[in-house]
Amino acid sequence: MLQQTFEALERTLNEDNDACIDCAKAIVEVFCRIVIDELDSSINPVKPKASSPDFGEWVGAAVRVLKLGENQNNKFLKLVSQHHKLTTALGDLRNEAGPASHGRDGFLDKLSAHHRRSSVLSADAIVTFLHQAYLEAELDLVRTREPYERFDHLHRLIDANVSLQAVVDEEGFLSVDVTLPTGDVLPLRVEASRLLYQLDRDAYVEALNAARGAPAPLVESDVEQGEE
């Protein structure tokens, strides 16, 4: 959704279309929702509860979940305040000059061009500010939806200190003993389907197609009947 909204923003801005004001606002909202879904606490959630939260609520919730208001540095808090003003201004721009959502007549060309540039620059400033804070936030590694590549520095730490010993058990599953630096062992048991699905989706599809054409495997009861 974020990528599609950004493409719409680029297209409408290049076309001198005032709909880019709506797109600029939507970019900020979508980004805030991503940040909130990633970082929000299940115990004390800050995600807006209204069915249709307004623009300020989304940005305010993102600021809270990033804990930006907890910083005691006056200059930093002033920066947060300035971005709040940008948020309000962007919302006002959209309400007054966003024909895609409100069906209003377009402004004069000169005034519309000014509003288009202002909306895009405001959205850029807000998203850049929140994104930088997001990159510095401590994520919940159990529930994060960030890709594996996002945590390369953590992967190197694990790979340098943790060893693996793998065998294939009697049922054809991959059994892996993960030995920690403490000497503790974490046993893992992985089906072929799960391994392929998680690591190589193309290989999973290839294996599935091959399995569909293979004869059905004999179960233990069939073997016993054959022996009799």
Question: Please, are residues 105 and 98 in contact by the beta-carbon 8 Å criterion?
Answer: no
Dihedral of CA atoms 206, 212, 214, 215 in degrees, nearest 10, equals: 160
Ramachandran angles phi, psi of 144, nearest 5°: -65, 145
pLDDT digits (tens, 9 = 90+) for 48-82: 888 888 878 888 888 888 888 766 555 555 655 66
State the Cα–Cα distance between residues 118 and 89, nearest whole angstrom.
Answer: 9
pTM of the full predicted structure? Answer: 0.62
The percent of residues above 70 in pLDDT, for the chain, comes to: 75
Q: Summarize pLDDT for 137-186 with one digit per residue, the tens.
A: 888 888 888 888 888 888 999 999 999 899 888 888 899 999 999 999 99
CB 83 within 8 A of CB 129: yes
For every residue of 77-140, which 3-state class applies, written as one string? HHHHHHHHHHHHHHHHHHHHHCHHHHCCCCCCHHHHHHHHHHHHHHHHHHHHHHHHHHHHCCCC
Q: What are the structural domain ranges in the chain?
A: 2-136, 158-215
Residue 115, pLDDT above cutoff 80: no
Pairing of strands 174-179, 163-168: antiparallel
What is the percent of the chain with per-residue pLDDT over 90, rounded to a whole number? Answer: 20
